[in-house]
Amino acid sequence: MVRVRTKDLLEHFNLTLVAGAQGIERKIITSDISRPGIEMTGYFNFYPNERLQLIGRTEMAYYMDLSDEEKYDRAVRLCTDITPGIVISRGMNIPQQLIEVAEETGVPILRTSMKTTRVISRLTNYLEEKFAPTTSVHGVLVDIYGVGVLITGQSGVGKSETALELVKRGHRLVADDNVEILQEDYDTLVGSSPKILENMLEIRGLGIIDVMTLFGAGAVRTKKRISVVIHLENWDDSKQYDRLGLDEDTMQIMDVKLPKATVPVRPGRNLAVIIEVAAMNFRLKLMGVNTAEQFSARLSNIIENEKSMLD
């Protein structure tokens, strides 16, 4: 599936199309951007022609010092059948040879008044997001005190009802039922809701409710980085649940491992408060405060002291 075409850059960044209008439907297949500096010298052995090409002031200054024949030669070799486009920064004037070749080959030339480093940064961020791996998870995503908590569990365990209680307590809903997850970086997952389900929450017995209409714009957000997973499951008397918090379980989503806690569900347990505390405890751990380890160390000291007194 084609994710980005050259015309998308024109629309998103308000670039000016100078030449090669017939090629604006060309596909961009990678988020990498090339600055053809060494190519301007005539060395094209490793020219990444499938990338978007960005010509800044340095490359253009060298190009302008070439003879007319060399300018035409470099332009022909820059503009290949698969080159998605050439971006010229700083609003610089474009040599006629490059414009003529771009028109002949259908390679779009786009111009912007922004500085080169700013163009690279904005284009890279945009393309990285477009080409980032994606997946979806059945669950609920809630922003609790700035921590993105992904609540998972089998259907009917009470995920949406818990999310509703969390919203009532002042937290923000991101997605219900289907969480679309984007891996923005090696260790960063960002969750959002499908457009059709945005701001919606399904409560059995009530149906679909609009959280933003009921609780206001402050009760929802469009996306949130996922930091921790809370898995809800029906209470199993034969299973031993972690009582100290020393066991560190994880859940892997794509290439990222997230800390995971399993919370058993049975009547009388306030899941919203438990998950709220879990989010606060996660923040404490980020600040270097691990209550379970502190308790374990305190208990070990008491045992050691008792042993020394007996000896």
Q: What is the pLDDT of residues 99-155, one digit of tens each?
A: 999 999 999 999 999 999 999 999 999 998 888 889 999 999 999 999 999 999 998
Which pLDDT does position 285 carry in this prediction? 82
Strand order across the 256-265 sheet: 172-175, 140-144, 147-153, 228-234, 256-265, 249-253
Q: Which residues are annotated as a binding site for Mg(2+)?
A: 160, 202
304 confidence band (pLDDT: 50, 70, 90): confident
238 confidence band (pLDDT: 50, 70, 90): confident
Q: Which residues are annotated as a binding site for ATP?
A: 153-160
Which pLDDT does position 245 carry in this prediction? 64
Q: Which residues are annotated as a binding site?
A: 153-160, 202
Beta strand spans in the chain (E): 4-5, 16-19, 27-28, 33-34, 52-55, 86-88, 109-111, 134-138, 140-144, 147-153, 172-175, 178-185, 188-192, 200-203, 207-210, 223-225, 228-234, 249-253, 256-265
What integer is the mean pLDDT of 223-242?
Answer: 86
**Which residue is listed with tokens 């771009």?**
102
Which pLDDT does position 266 carry in this prediction? 83
Residue 50 has pLDDT above 90, yes or no: yes
246 confidence band (pLDDT: 50, 70, 90): low
Half-sphere exposure of 247 (CA within 13 A, CB side): 9
- Annotated active-site positions, please? 138, 159, 177, 243
Give CA separation, 2 vs 8, 131, 181, 185, in Å: 11, 10, 19, 21
Which pLDDT does position 118 carry in this prediction? 94
Go through the domains of the chain in sequence order and give each one's CATH number: 4-131 (3.40.1390.20), 134-291 (3.40.50.300)
73 confidence band (pLDDT: 50, 70, 90): very high
